[in-house]
A and B are shown apart, each in its own frame.
Chain A
Amino acid sequence: MTDYLEPLLVSLKTVTVTTAVTFFLGIAAARWMARYEGRFKSLIDGLFILPLVLPPTVVGYILLLVFGVNGPIGKTLLAFGEKIVFSWEATVIAATVMAFPIMYMTAKGAFEQVEPNIEAAARTLGAGEWRVFWTVTLPLAKAGVIAATVLAFARSLGEFGATLMLAGNIAGKTQTIPIAIYFAIQAGDMDKAMVLCIIVLAISFVSLAAIAYWKGMAAKMKPVKVS
């Protein structure tokens, strides 16, 4: 039983924290870039989306270089007695880097769909930028933001390559479900692999169904509509 429970708990913990971190980072970046018209627009955009198109092993290797004991960040943290590589935190870092582009891209698309005139109208009525964002932009982009969050959740649940390289395979600590599946298949333990696959299928299916449901709900509750 611990064979299944341990990876499931590690995965759930990692995915929850990752989704929360990605949500705020992704929304902040998306909101900023949706209205940004500076000269570095395409450069920054490309940089944010890069982990999506790179092989996970490349991302994993770069993270290993940065966070390893000889890397710039890894070395600094080591001075404070903290090791990132092969720690639980590493699963969050790897999954966040891989899930961020999806959150960012989808949320940015949603923000770009929001009519700038409505935001401008709110400003003329005296609302500050924060209030405009929370009461106008975000509610209008709600469906897209929810879809983005669910996709980011699904991506971090499925994260394997970069996680294995940065967080390794420590049972009960960094062994997420995808890593447990990989090692079960390597060991020829097809039954264990099958049960874990079914768990992932169930979680993924529920999250996709949740998108569809929430999209329907959000469409009904859309506060303002412009003709």
Chain B
Amino acid sequence: MKRLIKIMAFSIAIMMIMPLAACTANEEGNITLNISSAASVTDALNEVNSVYMDANPNVTIVANYAASGTLQTQIEQGATCDVFISAAAKQMNNLENGGLILSDTRINILKNSIVLIVNKNSTLEIDSFEDLLGGAISLIAVGDPSFVPAGTYAYQLFELLEITDDLEDKLMQGSTVRDVLAYVETGNVDAGIVYSTDAAITDGVKIVATAPDEINSKIVYPAAIVKASENVDAASEYLAFLSGSEAMAIFEKYGFSAAVE
């Protein structure tokens, strides 16, 4: 028993000292970059970041993933952030108009497309967005259109197809596009609207329809350095890496395509 207490006390002491050691190491010219990124880029960006950190051992990247509108609000409220990657122009425009990003650093890096997904075990007969009107479908998950870009695109698509009013009672709004993916994956909703890249990361869903070009051509991911950043040099190096060929190869592996400037 005494031995056990000793071991526990020792482990606790180690756990308390470890973060301190990490802190001192940080003081020797190391840089922490805080990245706020649209949730849809999560998996691809995690891989890009680990490649970047391997190549630049003095840089630690801390990534914060949420809906683009959520990140916009956080940056407006003064959250620590060096680079912002948005899933739509709107949120970036809002920050630019508010003078919160460095406008000349803004670039479009990625393109994506919107798809309709159902659970892999779904027996519902859906192969187009219009089929959502069918009586067998009672719950459709989409992102909240006021701050989740994938949801905004979904509503634009409904407008285009003139089915918004008929769908209204069936829509369930998620707080990120990945929520929508999870709802479909767990089978708790009948269908969902996400990016093709989201559908690609799991075997639990299948794509049954893709949005027309009128919608998909609008989907670009802009990135920019946040004005309040204290690491502008390191941030611009990182941003250059994001649009470079090495990072793009990783993004393309996850189904994104490069945005043409």
Q: Does the CB pair A186–B173 fall under 8 Å? A: no
- The answer to the question of A48 belonging to the interface, with a C-beta cut-off of 8 Å to chain B, is no
| Nearest CB of B to A91, in Å | 13
- The answer to the question of A189 belonging to the interface, with a C-beta cut-off of 8 Å to chain B, is yes
- The answer to the question of A170 belonging to the interface, with a C-beta cut-off of 8 Å to chain B, is yes
Known: A187-B147, A188-B76. 16 other contacts (CB 8 A): A68-B187, A69-B186, A83-B138, A83-B188, A85-B188, A86-B188, A86-B189, A170-B173, A182-B175, A183-B146, A186-B144, A186-B147, A186-B175, A187-B73, A188-B73, A189-B146
Docked Cα-Cα span, A128 to B139, in Å, equals 51
Q: Which residues of B contact A183 (CB under 8 A)?
A: 144, 146-147, 173, 175
Contact A186 to B70, CB < 8 A, known contacts A69-B186, A169-B175, A170-B171: yes
- The answer to the question of B251 belonging to the interface, with a C-beta cut-off of 8 Å to chain A, is no
How many A-B contacts if CB must be within 8 Å?
56
- The answer to the question of A103 belonging to the interface, with a C-beta cut-off of 8 Å to chain B, is no
From A64, A170, A185, B186 is in contact (CB under 8 Å) with A64
Q: What is the size, in residues, of chain A's interface with B at 8 Å between Cβ atoms?
A: 18
A44-79 to B contact mask, C-beta < 8 Å, 1/0: 000000000000000000001000111000000000
**Which residues of B are interface residues toward A (Cβ below 8 A)?**
67, 69-70, 72-73, 76, 138-139, 144, 146-147, 171-175, 183, 186-189
Q: Does the CB pair A70–B172 fall under 8 Å? A: no
Contact A68 to B186, CB < 8 A, known contacts A170-B172, A186-B70, A188-B69: yes
Q: Does the CB pair A169–B174 fall under 8 Å? A: yes
Docked Cα-Cα span, A100 to B175, in Å, equals 28
Q: Does the CB pair B187–A69 fall under 8 Å? A: yes
From B67, B70, B138, B172, A168 is in contact (CB under 8 Å) with B172
Q: Which residues of A contact B175 (CB under 8 A)?
A: 169, 182-183, 186
| Nearest CB of A to B158, in Å | 15
Q: Does the CB pair B186–A187 fall under 8 Å? A: no
Q: Which residues of A contact B139 (CB under 8 A)?
A: 83, 86
Q: Does the CB pair A187–B174 fall under 8 Å? A: no
| Nearest CB of B to A61, in Å | 11
Q: Which residues of A contact B183 (CB under 8 A)?
A: 86, 168
Q: Which residues of B contact A68 (CB under 8 A)?
A: 186-188
